[in-house]
Amino acid sequence: MIYSSARFALHLQPSSAQPQNPRPFSMIHDPTPDQDETRDSDEAKGSEAADAAGTLRHRRIRSFVTRAGRVSTGQRRALDEFGPRFVVPYAPQPLDWDAAFGRQAPRVLEIGFGMGGTTAEIASARPADDFLGIEVHEPGVGALLKLIGEQELTNIRVVQHDAVEVLEHMIAADSLDGVHIYFPDPWHKARHHKRRLIQPKFVALLVSRLKPGGYLHLATDWQNYAEQMLEVLSAEPALENSAGSDYAQRPDYRPVTKFERRGLKLGHGVWDLVFKRR
């Protein structure tokens, strides 16, 4: 249904949740730019197929798979106009958030923001927080920059790079107030489950970057992946489920996207998980 790009929680299981049915469309996250107006941007996040077997250093996790996509004229214009201000170049050293944003504020990382619609909406609703979005696909970066320009948002920055390397090298330990990972690629075939982003080693890396009390918010519309997420996060001793032992109600700050709403009307479930670092 709605899958995010690498962009990288837990409470009451939604009453609308039903046993999952095959989706009537491809599992590819990223829409082509021509689909930008018909498919919600953040529901097409294709950057995070993770090979989570092995260690982070040896058979490395990657937070994305390469997908081709044409950059539209509007996206290219936004890249040229707003990229110099809002895109932070990858560098193997800790990011100075205060310098990048020009202020001190709570810090939230989003892994795989797709076409950026949800990112922009949350940032607009939470102007006191700073948001760093990770996305490898240029059409998505251009789409979010376009929204930043149209809405005159100042509290978003973008890194166009692999999320694992950004976490390892650019995000300091104990520095994040929150992490958002919405609709990561479910890799629905059993033989591909090892490619899913949410694996114990990756979660341990995320936790090391959260401040004590910082939150990790995940969302998926694939029941089997939701079950895996709940199992992996619950097994991490440094995390506490804010919903007790179940799935979370969708927090008010996460907007319901067009395709999510359509899926709910068809009886498809969406599961949110919200955990906090102890």
CB 135 within 8 A of CB 158: yes
Q: CA angle, corner 207, sides to 189 and 141, nearest 5?
A: 65
Is 185 labeled as catalytic in the residue annotation? yes
Residue 260 assigned to a binding site: yes
Residue 194 assigned to a binding site: no
Say which of 30, 36, 185, 272 is annotated catalytic: 185
- Residues 175-204 as b/e (b if ≥16 CB within 10 A, e otherwise) read bbbbbbbbbbbbbeeeeeeebbbbbebbbe
Nearest to 232 by CA among 270, 267, 191, 181: 181
Residue 165 assigned to a binding site: no
Residue 45 assigned to a binding site: no
Separation between Cα atoms, residue 39 and residue 41, nearest integer Å: 6
Residues 6+ apart with CB under 8 A from 170: 90, 91, 92, 93, 94, 95, 159
Residue 174 assigned to a binding site: no
Give Cα separations from 56 to 19, 106, 134, 220, 270 (angstroms).
Answer: 33, 27, 18, 24, 29
Residue 96 assigned to a binding site: no
Separation between Cα atoms, residue 143 and residue 34, nearest integer Å: 12
Residue 162 assigned to a binding site: yes
Separation between Cα atoms, residue 5 and residue 117, nearest integer Å: 13
Residue 37 assigned to a binding site: no
Separation between Cα atoms, residue 184 and residue 193, nearest integer Å: 12
Residue 265 assigned to a binding site: no
Residue 276 assigned to a binding site: no
Query: Annotated binding site for substrate: which residue ranges?
Result: 189, 221, 257-260
Which residues are known to be catalytic?
Answer: 185
Binding residues: 110, 135, 162, 185, 189, 221, 257-260
